[in-house]
Structure 1
Amino acid sequence: MEEFRKNLINRKRSITTEETTKISLILPLFRLLGYDTENPDEVKAEYACDVGVKTSKKVDLAILIDGEVKMLVECKSAKTKLNSNHLNQLLRYYSVSDCKIGVLTNGVEYRFFTDSVNAGRMDLEPFLIVDIINDDLTILELFSREKFNGEKISGFVDELKYRTAIREKLLSEFAYPSDEFVALIAKRVDSSRLTKDKRRKFKRLIGKELDAILSNVVVDYREKDNPVITTPE
C-alpha cells in the first residue's frame, strides 16, 4: 500500500481528466485489492444498473464477486473536490440496484456509502472516508476481493453508527453535564442526600474535572500518532 501511495502522489500531478483518474488512480487501487480489472466479470465500466428499462442508468464502475455486484463506483477527476452535489448520480444508481455499497471517489479520497437508515435508499452521509495520501489504508482490506463480506461490513457500519452516537452524547455531557449524570457521579462520591445546593456544587466541580480530563486527552492525542479505524474481527 505504501508503494501505491507514493505512485499516486506522483501520478496525481499530471492528471486533469476523469477518465485519466479512473485509469491511473482508481483501477490500480482495485487491482491492489485483488480484483481483475481486465475481467468484465469482476470490473465493468459504464455498468447499466436498470437493465430492461429504456433509459439506462450507467455507473462508472461496478465491482463484482461471483457474478454479484458488490460496489458501485462513481468516479470524478483527481482535480475535483468531492461534495454532496456529486451524490445525485450515485443515489439514482443505488436506488435501482441490489448493491449495498456505493463509492464516490476522485482517486485520492474515497467515500463509502450504504443504506443504514432506509433499506434500498443510499444514505446521504458516508459511513467511511479514506484519504489515500494521509490515512491509514488498512481499513480498505474490508473491501478487498478476498475479505469482502456483506455481514461484516454491515456490522462495521452499525458499530461506527453507535460509536458516533456515543461520542456525541459524551461530548454533550462534557460540555453541559446533565442532572442525571451529575446525580450519578455525586452518589458515587457522596452517599448523603443530594440537595439542590449540593447538586449545583457537584455540577460545577464535575464540569471543571471534565474540562481538565478533555484537555489531557487532547494533549495525549497530539503527542501520539492519530488513532486509526480498524477492521472488525
Structure 2
Amino acid sequence: MDFKDTIKQLAERVIKLKDNIQTEEATKNAFIMPFINTLGYDVFNPLEVIPEMVCDIGTKKGEKIDYAIMKDDEPILLIECKHWAQDLNLHDNQLLRYFNVSKAKFGLLTNGIIYRFYTDLIEPNKMDEKPFLEIDVTDIKDMQIEELKKFHKSYFDVEKILSSASELKYTGELKAIIAKEFANPSPDFVKFFAKQVYDGMITSKLLEQFTSLTKKSIGNYINDLISERLKSALKSEEAEAVEAYKDPENQLEEKADDSKIVTTEEELEAYRIIKSICREKVDVSRIVYRDAQTYFSILLDDNNRKAICRMYFNTATKYVATIDENKKDVKHAIESLDDLYKYSEEYFKTIDMYENKQ
C-alpha cells in the first residue's frame, strides 16, 4: 500500500470512529498515533518518537509537549494534540511556547482531523502565527498528500520542506481571501471592479448595486470555466473512443498483455517525483501513470496521447524518455531517480504543448 492509500485509509478510520472518541487521550491513540506511524515513525521507539517530552519554558519547569519526533537525537517535529472536537484556534499559543524553546524546525498542532504545520518563516527561531500547511485528513487533496509526504521518515529533508513552505503559506492565505471575497465581496473589492466599468462617483446606492453585480459576474465566470473544462474533457474522451474503435486489435492486445505487467516500486517512486516536479505547472490530480510491458508512462489527464515522459526501467541501462514537439520519445540514460530532476524543463515544455493545443 502506497502513502496516498494509507492516508485515505486513515481518513476512513477517522470518519468511522470520531463520534465514539470521548477524550483527548483516546484521540491520540485512535487518530494521531496511527498518523505518526503513517509518516514512517515507530511510536513505540523512543529513539524516533518521545511522548510527553519536557519543554521547560523559562521559570516554568516540567512543561511537556505531547510528542516529539526525533532524528539524530534531536527533535525535528513537535506535536501538540487536542480532542478531535476542539477548535485549534484556541490552542496555537501553547505550541508556540514549546517551539520557541526547542531546536525543532517544525511544529504540528492537531486534533486528529485537522493538521496544522508551522515553522519560522517570518522571524528565525520564532514560530509563525499562521501555519504554512493545513490539512483536513478527511478531505485531503493530492497536492497536500505530496507535501505531507515530505515529512515521511524516508524523505524528510528540512531544506526541501522549507523551500516550499513559504509558497504554501502565502498561496493558502491568498486562496482563503479570494474565497471570502467571492462569497461576500468587500466594498474595496467591489470598488476595484466598478471603477473599471463606471466613470462616475461610486455612491452607497451604486456600491450596493455593483456588489450584487460583482457576485453574479463571479458566479457566471466560474460556471463558464467549468463548462469549458467539461467540453474539453468530453472532446478528449470522444477522440479516444474514435481511436479505440479504429484499432480494436491493438485494444485486445493490450488487454491480453495486462497479466504480464508488473509495476515496480521504483516506477511508482519515479511517478511521485514527476508529480512533485510538475505541480508547478498543473494540478497534480491531472497527472497519472499507465504501465505497459516495455515502458511506464506518466500522462496528463489520463490521456495516452498526452505523455509527459516515459520510464524504460526493464533494461540494464535505465532511461527516461522526454517527449519532443512531434510527440516522439527522446531517451536519456539515468543512473538514479535523482537524475529525473535534470529534465524538468522538458516536462514543462511538453505540458505547455498539450495545454496550448486545447
User: What TM-score results when the alignment is normalised by the length of structure 2?
Assistant: 0.49
Distance in 1 between the 2:76 and 2:56 partners?
15
Deviation for aligned residue 1:95: 0.9
Bigger mean CA deviation after superposition, 101-110 or 8-17: 8-17
Match of 1:86 among 78, 85, 91: 91
DSSP 3-state at the match of 2:138 = coil
Deviation for aligned residue 1:214: 4.1
Match of 2:66 among 57, 60, 65: 60
Match of 1:218 among 219, 222, 239: 222
1:71 maps onto 2:116 in alignment: no
Distance in 1 between the 2:93 and 2:174 partners?
30
Distance in 2 between the 1:221 and 1:62 partners?
45
Name the aligned partner's letter for residue 155 of structure 2. Answer: K
1:70-104 Cα deviation digits (max 9, x unpaired): 111111112x3323321222111011011121111
Q: 1:101 aligns to what?
A: 106
Name the aligned partner's letter for residue 218 of structure 1. Answer: I
1:156 maps onto 2:156 in alignment: no
1:146 maps onto 2:154 in alignment: yes
Deviation for aligned residue 1:211: 7.8
* Relative contact order, higher structure (CA 8 A, sep 6+): 1
Distance in 2 between the 1:85 and 1:23 partners?
22
Q: 1:17 aligns to what?
A: 23
Distance in 1 between the 2:133 and 2:25 partners?
24
Q: 2:10 aligns to what?
A: 4
Which residues of structure 1 form unaligned runs of 5+? 183-197, 202-206, 225-230
- Change beyond 3 A, Cα 1:90–1:175: same
- Change beyond 3 A, Cα 1:104–1:164: closer
DSSP 3-state at the match of 2:156 = coil
Deviation for aligned residue 1:165: 7.3
Distance in 2 between the 1:156 and 1:106 partners?
24
Distance in 2 between the 1:220 and 1:159 partners?
29
Distance in 1 between the 2:225 and 2:24 partners?
37
- Change beyond 3 A, Cα 1:215–1:102: same
How many residues were matched structurally?
207
Match of 2:138 among 133, 139, 145: 133
Q: Report if the CA contact (8 A) 2:133-2:169 is conserved.
A: no
Q: Report if the CA contact (8 A) 1:48-1:56 is conserved.
A: yes
Deviation for aligned residue 1:140: 1.8
Distance in 2 between the 1:11 and 1:156 partners?
33
DSSP 3-state at the match of 1:91 = helix
Which residues of structure 2 form unaligned runs of 5+? 1-6, 201-209, 230-274, 278-358
Distance in 1 between the 2:165 and 2:8 partners?
26
- Change beyond 3 A, Cα 1:162–1:107: closer
- Change beyond 3 A, Cα 1:214–1:232: farther
Q: Report if the CA contact (8 A) 1:156-1:232 is conserved.
A: no
Distance in 2 between the 1:41 and 1:112 partners?
22
Name the aligned partner's letter for residue 15 of structure 2. Answer: I
Distance in 1 between the 2:71 and 2:15 partners?
29
Q: Identity over aligned residues, as a percent?
A: 37
Root-mean-square deviation (CA), in Å?
3.7
- Change beyond 3 A, Cα 1:220–1:82: farther
Distance in 2 between the 1:43 and 1:77 partners?
20
Distance in 1 between the 2:276 and 2:59 partners?
39
